[in-house]
Structure 1
């Protein structure tokens, strides 16, 4: 596994749970305002203690998926947290290299196939970065992105997810 400074999760993501319905509304039903509500709720609860991160990065969508969905469900969430905590965000520093179906639609074996899925669009070094994602399932997406960031230089990675799939 990769060295992660901190992991923050807002709720559990279970079948027939309200959190699953909330995330699905955000991702698949064009309810971007849910991202704002979750960011407001997060900002009331999250404290970066004495070490404020340098940068917030949300997990990118492939351009084809972005066009299909119309927006990245993590952007507004990330931007609001950026504003509240005065931490810059960058939606373009990580690129998704391949189009694939949603993780939720894949079986466990195919969720593990993440090699060369992401790449950095420019080099970053000496930063504490918080990766933002909606649901932590296997951790492979975040691990793959974190590895790209860690390979780039003397960086630290923390993770913030809206929900954990238990």
Structure 2
């Protein structure tokens, strides 16, 4: 309580004081550019994925634009030790995503290298995925995938380096006959997701769908 008084939670866009479980104020919430995509439609994310790998369905919660509120939200989540933002993003996703009668069998997150996980202290996708798992009653596995190489943050890489993802990931367990929803924070080139997708699809007669917090168009 005292800390809330001395260090109140502030909107990441305008710095106005807001409730402790929020990340933006009501006015700035209107500036978050949600995609309003249909998970089952031939949306932009699905079109981009299909250029790289077979995909069943796809969904991006927000647009990832320069100087945009959504970019600030993702930055706070990944680099400013604000893991709780994952809970907010999950709640926003729940309000927009209906699996209807084609529910995935398993949620799987893109992993961090152990060194990066130690440096950051958390994987920005885990709380997000756990909240979704609890709401939809769909299991999640944060250990199915392993990142084999340590690398600097995607935001600090140039495009040529981002494209070099060969042998970066491996599947640690036998998995087959599953419809897997692969979860990541930002879709940029799509090469990270493609590398993982082919590893999963090679393991068995699996199907794959994609969920990202934001889409860089």
TM-score in terms of structure 2 length: 0.76
Q: Which residue is 1:52 aligned to? A: 103
Q: C-alpha distance in 2, partners of 1:160/1:139? A: 12
Counterpart CA distance in 1 for 2:79 and 2:129 is 18
1:20 is matched with which residue: 42, 65, 71?
A: 71
For 2:152, the equivalent position in structure 1 comes to 101
Aligned twin of 2:123: 72
* Counterpart position of 2:46: none
Matching of residue 164 in structure 1 with residue 215 in structure 2:
yes
How far apart in 2 are the matches of 1:86 and 1:143? 26
Q: For 1:58 and 1:106, how far apart are their aligned partners in 2?
A: 21
Q: Which runs of 4+ in 1 moved over 2 A?
A: none
Q: Shift of the alpha carbon at 1:20?
A: 0.4
Greater relative contact order, per chain length (Cα 8 Å cut-off, separation 6+): 1
Spell out, residue by residue over 1:23-74, the C-alpha distance to the aligned partner (whole angstroms, 9 max, x if none): 0000000111110001011111101121110000011000000000000000
* 3-state SS in 1 of match to 2:56: strand
Structure 1 residue 14, shift from structure 2 partner: 1.0
Give, in angstroms, the shift of residue 89 of structure 1: 0.2
Shift of 1:165: 1.0
Partners of 2:194 and 2:106 in 1: CA distance: 17
SS at match of 1:4: coil
The answer for the alignment partner of 1:152 in structure 2 is 203
Unaligned runs of 5+ in 1: none
**Secondary structure of 2:140's match?**
coil
2:129 matches 1:87:
no
Q: Tell me the C-alpha RMSD between the 2 structures.
A: 0.6
Query: Structure 2: which 5+ runs fail to align?
Result: 1-51
Which protein has the larger Cα radius of gyration, Structure 1 or Structure 2?
A: 2
Aligned to 1:37: 88
